[in-house]
Structures are given as C-alpha cells and as structure tokens.
Amino acid sequence: MKSLLEELIQAAGEDRVRTMEPMGPHVTFRAGGKADYFVSPSGEQELAGVIRACCSQKTPFYILGNGSNLLVGDKGYRGVIIHMGEDWNFCRFQGTRVRAGAGILLSRLSKEACRLGLSGLEAAGGIPGTLGGALVMNAGAYGFEMKDVVRSARVMTEDGEILELTAEELGFGYRRSVIPERKLIALEAELELTEGQEEEIRARMEELAALRREKQPLEYPSAGSTFKRPEGYFAGKLIQDAGLKGYRVGGAQVSEKHSGFVINRGGATAGEIMRLCRDVQRIVREQTGVTLEMEVKTLGEFEEPEEGKQP
C-alpha cells in the first residue's frame, strides 16, 4: 500500500508537494506552525487526485487561497493543505460578464474590471482574499457582498464530481454559503457586472481605499474583521465599550485604531492571538450578554498562554 506522500506525488507531481511547510508566510496573520503536507495542484484533475489520496488515507485536508481569514495553530496541522494558487489565478471578460478562477485576488479582479469600465467590484478591491474564499463566506465590505455579482460557480465535490451551481443554489447569507456546508471546493465563478465609466469607478475605489487606510490597521498583519457582526450590534463597538481597545496578549493586540481588528503587533504566536480572541469573547459576553462569533477560521493544534492585560 502506498503512503500518503507517494499518493500525493502521484496525483500532483513531486515539485508540487512539500512536507512540514511553515504556515506563517501563507496566512495574513503571519503566525502559525507547520502543515504536514502542502500541495499546489495545477488543475482539476490533479486536485481531484489529491483529494482522493487524502480520503483514501483518511487524512484531513484544507483548501487555502490567500490565507486572509485563517489562523493555524503553533503546533501545526496534521493534514494536507491544498493551495489554490497561481494556476487558479485567471479572469476572462466577455461583455459585462467575467469568468474567474478561485485563486485570483479580489484586488486584481477589481482592477481588471475597472480598467474595462465595469462596475460592481469597487468595494471588493480592498478585501485581502481570493475569489474562492470570497465565494465560501460571501465576503463583503461597505454594503457590498459577493452575492450581488455572482451568477454561478463551478465547484468540485469530495468525490471529484464537477457541479455548476447558480447563485440561488449557492445559498448565500451573511458570511456564509453552502460551499463549506456541502464540503464543496470552489474552482471558478461567473460574475455579472455593469457598464460604467473607468474614471468614476477608479475614483470610488480610491475613496474606499482611503477610508480603509483611515479606519483600519492595515500596517499590521491581521485577518481583517476578526468577529462576525452580531444581529443588532457592531462587534467593534461592543469590544471598545468593554474597555478592550488596545488589549494585549503577548504580541497580539486589539487594534487601537479599530477594535474589530485583532492584529499581530510583532512576533505574536497563534496561541497568543487565539487567547486574545477568547478573552474578548468572554469579557464582552460577561458585560453585555452578547456572544461574539469569530469570523476567522482556525485550523490545527493550539497552545494558548495565560490571559492578557487590559491597557
């Protein structure tokens, strides 16, 4: 019987399989341990082969794009990271429609649309993730959500079957879709944009970028908004009102610029970031009765330090 490593190499090629890969450089928090295996399949056939190998060996796997919404534990991940990278980074425009791969950054996609005078992705330009990740969680900002522009998505099941789901079938909601619920893998999507003027579109993108620079701690590694917005509240205001602005655990901190962001001030471990998030959840719940749900996904094994200190 072949080992998992042998099966992964057979599926994707030796040059696309790495072992004990540090995950810090692959996530925007810039923290975390090593993954047992890190594979970058070049197409659907290789991807299906990698998934079959994982299933046959009963080994967990995780689909990774830009790592902008992920925290990997310092003890690492005992499984396979499947990276949807450069080979999934494409976009093809036809009129007001665009077909794009799961690995393309939203920032690049929005710039290409702007260049062609197509409106609809202005607010997506500052979301630091890939199209695949944005489909999975119906990413959004400044009143925009992916569901506003998605017509359909090409996905793969764990059995390697390819499906084309309509926007309705994707079941978009607040920071959710059926993709993770049905254990599907986003491959590409078709978006419907609208005709506009390049100058106006660019001006709107620059306006939103200036707002982000003013209000968000973009100078530090983070995963963007750390907690989901509770119904009837704003997570950042709840955290600030609880006296947690600037709260620190080691190198992790609640941003002093925007309390909805947890940042890596420098050298933070994944455990410190996780402990800080748990402290924030506990203190806000004790003071308000509101339970904050993390928007950031966690993966692997964590080792958390003691509680932090308020500023």
**Would you please indicate which residues are annotated as catalytic (active-site) residues?**
175, 225, 295
| CA 42 to centroid of chain Cα atoms | 20
Cβ neighbours of residue 36 closer than 8 Å, sequence gap 6 or more: 19, 20, 76, 77, 78, 79, 80
Cβ neighbours of residue 195 closer than 8 Å, sequence gap 6 or more: 96, 117, 118, 119
d(CA 173, CA 30): 29
d(CA 176, CA 128): 17
Q: Identity (one letter) of the amino acid at 93?
A: F
Pairing of strands 70-72, 297-299: parallel
- 37 close to 300: Cβ distance less than 8 angstroms: no
Handedness of CA 200, 205, 209, 211 (dihedral sign): positive
d(CA 57, CA 59): 5
φ/ψ of 25, rounded to 5, equals -65, -15
DSSP character string of 57-107:
TT--EEEESS-TTEEE-TT-EEEEEEE--GGG--EEEETTEEEEETTSBHH
